A and B are shown apart, each in its own frame.
Chain A
Amino acid sequence: MIFALLCMCLLLPPQSAEPSVPPDALPLLQSGIDAENRGALDQAIVAFRKAADLAPDSAIVLLRLGDAYMKKRDYAAAIPPLKHAAELSPDSPAVHQLLGYALLATGYAAEAIPHLKMINDAGALGIAQLQAGQAAEAVANLQAALAKTPDDPDLLFYLSRASTALAGQSLDRLRAVDPNSARGHQALGQTDYELKKLPEAAKEYEQAIAMRPDLPGLRLELGQVFAAGSEWAKAEEQFRGEAKLQPGNAEAAYRLGNALLQQGKMKEAAEELKRSDLLSPGMPETLYALGRAAAITDPDAAERALLRVIELEKDTPLAGQAYLALAQLHRKQGKTDQAARDMQDYRRIQAVAGHPPS
């Protein structure tokens, strides 16, 4: 786990008061530490505040007070004593760490960054940079943090966000520097598509294609715009164009096969989906679509494809759909026992997914 506890015990011995604290504040500091050790945070805060009144320039007292507020999750209240402590003890990693966290927790990401930089906390720094709009720096720091703890879910999440933000910034830049280029229209098309403004998206992509008909990917994206609008004939035309441009692109073949499938052109769909499977074997969505497309014209191929989906997907919803399609296939073949077993598996997966029968 990359986010280990900030171990205050290493920085601030919990058992005894700091000897450099003025003598009249020492009992209050000790009292606060005792209360904190008992888990009585409110009492601890009262004691630390009184100690701070008596020793307003004691970094350790202010740090204790800030820490108690942090433990109480009152991050805003923690900031003033921690800021003062940072002025008094500008080289204290504990102060900068707590202050950096408190600022980040209260939304002052830009202000948190210098403090987090001082403690070399790449993960927290990356998050702060993401929130401060420094996407490129955020990506770098989050990747550095992930190098140490590759499976940390929080870091992975924020890295994905930072990457998206970085991509967005790059697109913004592209739109700003050359909005009338093919890539500029492509970027605008992508934005419109994400906003579900499908006609607008289609126009942008069409302009991009008119300018750079050789550019791979444009027709694939335009086809997806049409597919999102259930305009399958138009989608087919674009996917077909992409497949011609990139005959080795498995996704283009899959998309074309699916567009044909949606139009009920089962035989053509099956051929294209088989081609996609050859280009990139073992893609469950391709195999499932192939299973549906070939069900009537080539039941054996359909069965093989659906069984492969189940092998790959185990108990996922797609595997459930594959069992259902298999049941239909087996019923048509008169294999009623097999169909019944398929339905049992379908129901089992549905139950696991939280969809028990009515």
Chain B
Amino acid sequence: MTRRELLSLLFSLGALEFGSVLDAQGTNPKTAPVFQVKTLKGIDFVLRNSPTSRKHLIETMPGGVALLDYNNDGLLDIFFVNGGNVREKMTTPINFDRRNPAYWNRLYRQNPDGTYTDVTERAGLAHAGDSNYGMGVAVGDYDNDGFPDIYVTNFGKNILYHNNGDGTFTDVTARAGVAAGGWSASAGFFDYDNDGRLDLFVTRYLDWSVESSKTCGSERPTYCPPGSFPGITNVLYRNRGDGTFEDVSVASGIAAKKSHGLGVAFADYDGDGFTDIFVANDATDQFLFHNNGDGTFTECGLDSGAALSETGRMPSGMGVVFQDYDNDGLPDLIVTQLPHDPYVLFHNDGKGLFSAQELEAGFGILSGNVSGWGVGLEDFDNDGWKDAFIVQGHVFDNVETYDDSLRYREPPLLALNRAGRFERADPGSDLPVAGRGSAFGDLNNDGWMDVVTTSLGDAPQFYFNRRGQFHWLTITLRGKRSNRDGFGARVQVNGQTRFATAAGSYLSSNDKRLHFGLGSAQTADIEIRWPSGIRQVLRGVKADQFIVIEESAQP
């Protein structure tokens, strides 16, 4: 025996781990809370993710929420995606017990008095397939019939529910050809070829199956990092206009890149008139798919400066929002991620280039030890600057046993935008939850933006805006030559810019109406560039109203 052999034998002491630490995101500041958290009468949804000791990765990733007016009564309704029953030892054929009402997705119709009624069963949305574990939701009027349709993503097969216009939906997945398969995450409707019909983009997380499921961690088992599983391609469906879609993932170039996609958001970042796609990838480069305008996309995240954080690290991208935070007319990106790095902010520098500026924007102070998921950029205080709301909670339900400075359940982050720099504000609740999805909209039509969030194993949270003195304007687009929802339009109001979309956040779908805070202005000048190319201008529009703007016939 040699001494070296002896030493090899003795070399058993584990390296002392000393990662960056953390936490104490700190309590919320003692400013007036922006929201009041309420329970809503009639809503009894619980996001059942069914955590097991086996730590199947799907358990910790759901679930989405959508704000939509499915019956066109002017009141926002709420759709929640549920997980499913995960058993300790799963076998194929897999069965998530989705026939059991406890695991149904749920649609709640808002009544005129602000209460809600569960209409899931009568709407035909009750049973989402036993082999499907629910993830996210996208909403869009893909057939331009004036009623929003619902697309639900799953681990399993995705489902497209066509809105029949009579309060019911029909599962048209098979005919439409949009089931995808594998592990889908976020999805969104958008019109990538400007043909007036909404197409569909679906992110997929990773190549996971019951057979390949595994647990990581030795003494304290937990969920495996995404790198433990192969990456997978995202999916792009082109709307043929006859109720069917064509999978153009390969032809468009989308499938040329594999990764670990979670969030998705759309905007025309370079002003060429075609909507581009950003995909938040978990623990690898982020993807920016530039729309070439000829039915193809080129992934250019790295070369455009929108792939890596300010420190050059690969973000563990979860949720994403693609809107203009600094009122320079160009859409920027905020990507939420896991602890030890701030949430990433890619500032749109123009000319197709971005630079990571999370520190300049204040996210070095606001994040770093927290885990972000759903995210929105909305003007919650109507001062003319879009604020950030991020729902938070760690991936590991036992993270405290790994790192005493981290927390599985965390309160949300509300950061008010002070002329381009974000500052922490009181969201109205310090209640820590394992937050995941979030959707943004004006639930009570008072002109002030509200938030609905989901959390694992828990009821949703409803953040109602306490309101203030400033003025506002909320616009509903009605496309004629463009898609009826007007998705992809660039709307500018008094120097602010929004890109019309319901996509963004994490697994969720937002109120499609475009909300603008006007500050003290009592009128607004509006300029719309529709996906059709038509430019429309309205001047001196009175503040504090909901208006519908129909696409004009002529440029």
Contact = CB atoms under 8 A, between A and B. Distances in A.
Contact of A194 (B18, B257, B305): B18
Interface stretch (A18-26, A179-187, A320-328): A320-328
A262 B364 contact: yes
A20 B404 CA distance: 66
Given A3-B7, A198-B405, A264 B362 contact: yes
Nearest to A259: B364
B302 to A, nearest CB: 7
B369 A230 contact: yes
A331 B13 contact: no
A340 B300 CA distance: 12
Interface string A1-43: 1111110000000000000000000000000000000000000
Nearest to B340: A230
B302 A230 contact: no
Contact of B403 (A70, A196, A331, A343): A196
A343 B305 CA distance: 10
A266 B10 contact: no
A150 B13 CA distance: 22
Interface stretch (B22-30, B63-71, B108-116): B22-30
A212 to B, nearest CB: 25
A49 B140 CA distance: 83
Interface string B366-405: 0111000000000000000000000000000000000111
B361 interface: yes
A229 B18 contact: no
B18 A320 contact: no
Interface string A96-138: 0010010011000000000000000101100100010000000
Contact of A263 (B287, B356, B364): B364
Contact of A233 (B5, B257, B365, B369): B365
B355 interface: yes
Contacts of A5: 2
A231 B369 CA distance: 10
Contacts of B7: 3, 127, 154, 158
A70 B368 CA distance: 52
Contacts of A320: 312
B284 interface: yes
Contact of B1 (A1, A6, A131, A347): A6
Contact of A264 (B25, B314, B361): B361
A131 B11 CA distance: 11
A230 B3 contact: no
A287 B257 CA distance: 35
Given A197-B404, A264-B421, A231 B26 contact: yes
Contact of A266 (B23, B231, B360): B360
Among A101, A198, A230, A347: residue with most chain B CB under 10 A: A230
Given A105-B10, A263-B365, A198 B22 contact: yes
Interface string A74-100: 000000000000000000000000100
Contacts of A324: 308, 312
B285 A357 contact: yes
Interface string A232-267: 110000000000000000000000000001111010
A332 interface: yes
Nearest to B22: A229
A262 B361 CA distance: 10
B349 interface: yes
A198 B308 CA distance: 29
B353 interface: yes
B220 interface: no
A338 B421 CA distance: 31
B23 A264 contact: no
Say which size band chain A's interface belongs to: 35 or more
A312 B407 CA distance: 38
A263 B359 CA distance: 6
Say which size band chain B's interface belongs to: 35 or more
A105 B4 CA distance: 12
B520 to A, nearest CB: 28
Contact of A1 (B4, B13, B26): B4
B9 interface: yes
Interface string B444-478: 00000000000000000000000000000000000
Interface string B278-305: 0001001101000000000000001101
Interface string B399-430: 00001110000000000000001000000000
A81 B12 CA distance: 27
B258 interface: yes
Given A73-B1, A198-B405, A324-B312, A230 B10 contact: no
Given A101-B6, A263-B364, A358-B231, A343 B359 contact: no
B1 A70 contact: yes
A104 B365 contact: no
Contact of B360 (A98, A228, A264): A264
B326 interface: no
Contacts of A262: 342, 359, 364-365, 368
A328 B4 CA distance: 48
A50 interface: no
A281 interface: no
B278 to A, nearest CB: 14
A196 B281 CA distance: 29
A101 B3 CA distance: 8
Contacts of B305: 327-328, 331
Nearest to A329: B355
Interface string A324-358: 11011001100000001001000100000001011
Among B281, B287, B364: residue with most chain A CB under 10 A: B364
Contacts of A2: 3
A121 B180 CA distance: 67
Contacts of B24: 198-199, 229, 231
11 contacts: A3-B2, A105-B9, A121-B3, A161-B13, A198-B24, A233-B365, A262-B368, A263-B364, A327-B305, A332-B355, A358-B281
Given A198-B23, A230-B364, A233-B365, 15 more contacts: A1-B4, A101-B1, A127-B10, A154-B7, A157-B11, A198-B24, A228-B21, A228-B22, A229-B22, A262-B365, A262-B368, A328-B356, A340-B303, A355-B314, A357-B285
Report, nearest first, the 3 A-B pairs whose CB atoms are least far apart. A3-B3, A230-B368, A228-B21
Interface of A: 1-6, 70-71, 73, 98, 101, 104-105, 121, 123-124, 127, 131, 154, 157-158, 161, 164, 193-199, 228-233, 261-264, 266, 292, 296, 320-321, 324-325, 327-328, 331-332, 340, 343, 347, 355, 357-358
